[in-house]
Amino acid sequence: SGGTFVPAVVVGTGYGAAVSALRLGEAGVPTLMLEMGRLWNQPGPDGKVFSGMLTPDKRSSWFKTRTEAPLGSFLWLDLANRDIEPYAGVLDRVNFDQMSVYVGRGVGGGSLVNGGMAVTPRRSYFEEVLPQVDAAEMYGTYFPRANSTLRVNNIDPGWFERTEWYQFARVSREQAAKAGLGTTFVPNVYDWDYMRREADGTVPRSALDAEVIYGNNHGKVSLDKSYLAAALGTGKVTIETLHQVRTIRRQQDGTYLLTVEQKDAEGTLLATKEISCRHLFLGAGSLGSTELLLRARETGTLPDLSSEIGGGWGPNGNIMTARANHMWNPTGTKQSSIPALGIDDWDNPDAPVFAEIAPMPAGLETWVSLYLAITKNPQRGTFVYDAAKDRADLRWTREQNAPAVAAAKALFDRVNKANTTIYRYDLFGKQLKAFADDFCYHPLGGCVLGKATDNYGRVSGYENLYVTDGSLIPGSIGVNPFVTITALAERNVERVIKEDVKK
Ligand code: FDA
């Protein structure tokens, strides 16, 4: 068999990957993590590791010539985007025909760019989505384990009520209440105590300096500070960065042989390596893990993979929308970039919605109330392998998002009616558009648990091959997904280490 041999390889360094590596390391298994993005720990010329949201440079984006911010316009003017040099930046927008998917690139995956909202799903909906998973075990053991290892914490409600930084959220809460809608505080991995000190002016600002989608320079406990730091601390785990896994082949002795491209941060190919392992854990995310398996199935390197690979994909019902407030209802020139409240209407049988009250930290008064609505959309997409481009293509149409838009509209029509307000049409591109239905932050599915894998993420058709990330979840989970991805990975890896690795 070829290549350098390591007992276990983990592809990616996001949530599923980080959980797997930590637990393998604790079990004494030498484990190599391969991450296509950079390690984000060196300050750039401005003294900061990450570039800011309002002044993005090449560090912001994964090999683009212009940034592609989700809120691309304001009064239809493209104010937020900048021309940049192609670089291994931290946020990628993967553009398929009718859906764009934002993902994090770097050691920590999505944890580097996300809003840190750490939400445990409602148990009844978890049971509906993953009925074959023992919910008592999840809610008794694995969700608590995920929440504590991720260092999830809660905002001090007293501070929330008085700080100018959450005026935007209080305004939205009041307007929701007028429509009879309740809100709930959303836990986070951003250190709320640090944020208070930012407000007091005693520490460098991050959430209070509009940092989030291109990385937080302070305050956020991303995976490199939680799971991955612990994994490295076992002494058994190593991480290779700017290493992208391209192909996976099973060898005669049952080990897996990977071809891996090592590049520099400008994208120049430095080496193509062969690495082999006995146990292979795919944590490259919904897009990444699904693409690796589709390529392997379609090019014949893993011909026995199930036809279920590629199926069951969904954007977690993500729809962004914004309302225009009256002049007497400003949302504030100071807005924390970390959301703290959600409108919870998930029990509405007609159109369940959980809507994050999102900031729009533009540094000037916008009178905008922005929301990321998570809706329950039964539509699913499918990844197919495009041989000519050697990549996974997503079969998903805009019309498939119509149920999600309808649910978000039903809720915000109520809010608008109760407050005599209207939608904003200028924020999501050049055309008149009140609902952003063409991008998502929460890609889920592609290698669904119990379909493309067994009930613990073991890939059907092959031994010692596992999927550990968001691709296991069938398209929807009703809340922001990373706590569920983490807890499910904890459950699965515990079983796999006991039954497969330590046997
Ligand atoms: P994840 O995508 O985190 O990690 C995959 C890693 O694998 C990446 O680092 C990638 O570079 C790497 N990789 C991919 N292919 C590879 C290959 N072939 N070789 C080597 N490496 C490869 N969720 C939430 O719960 N609360 C929130 O507030 C938010 N907010 C939010 C904002 C934004 C802007 C985004 C983009 C996303 C969110 N999310 C979120 C979503 C959340 O970040 C997401 O669900 C998880 O990061 C997914 O975790 P995974 O483990 O599936 O993969």
User: What pLDDT, on the 0 to 100 scale, is given for residue 311?
Assistant: 98
Relative to the CA of 12, which ligand 1 atom is closest?
Answer: 7
For the Cβ of 311 lying below 6 angstroms from any atom of ligand 1, the answer is no
Active site residue: 356, 365, 399, 463, which one?
A: 356
Distance (angstroms) between ligand 1 centre and the Cα of 118 equals 14
- Span from the CA of 261 to the centroid of ligand 1 (angstroms): 20
Q: What pLDDT score does 71 carry?
A: 82
Residues of the chain with pLDDT under 70: 1-2, 72, 75-76
* pLDDT score recorded for residue 2: 62
Alpha carbon 357 to its chain centroid, in Å, reads 17
Q: Is 470 close to ligand 1, i.e. is its CB under 6 Å away?
A: yes
Looking at residue 496, what is its pLDDT? Answer: 98
- Establish whether 356 is a catalytic residue: yes
Residue 485's identity, in one-letter code, is I
DSSP category for residue 326? P
**Probe ligand 1: pick from 480, 486, 493, max atoms within 8 Å of CB?**
480
- Ligand 1: centre distance to CA 437 (Å): 20
| pLDDT one-digit tens code per residue, 240-299 | 999 999 999 999 999 999 999 999 999 999 999 999 999 999 999 999 999 999 999 999
Tell me how far CA of residue 192 lies from CA of 115, 210, 361, in angstroms.
13, 15, 18
CA distance 136 to 123: 9
Q: Which of 218, 243, 279, 442 is catalytic?
A: 442
Structure confidence at residue 228 (pLDDT) = 98
- The three-state DSSP-derived secondary structure of 396-413 is CCHHHHHHHHHHHHHHHH
Dihedrals φ, ψ of 457, to 5°?
Answer: 85, 10
Q: Are 87 and 265 in contact (CB under 8 A)?
A: yes
Q: Is the CB of 356 under 6 A from ligand 1?
A: no
Instruction: Write down the pLDDT at residue 73.
Output: 72
List residues bridging with 311 in a β-sheet.
Answer: 446
Between the CA of 87 and the centroid of ligand 1 the distance, in Å, is 18
Mutational pocket test of ligand 1: of 68, 482, 484, the residue with most ligand atoms within 8 Å of the beta carbon: 482
DSSP letter for 284, please: S
274 among known catalytic residues: no
> Residue 491 belongs to what H/E stretch?
helix 482-496
Task: Determine whether the shortest distance from the Cβ of 342 to ligand 1 is under 6 A.
Answer: no
Complete DSSP assignment for 107-157: TTGGGGTS--B--PPPHHHHHHH-TTS-HHHIIIIIHHHHHHHHT-B---H
What is the pLDDT at residue 454?
98
CA–centroid distance, 94 to ligand 1, in Å, is 12
Ligand 1 mean position to 209 CA, how many Å?
23
ipTM: 0.99
| Any atom of ligand 1 within 6 Å of the Cβ of 213 | yes
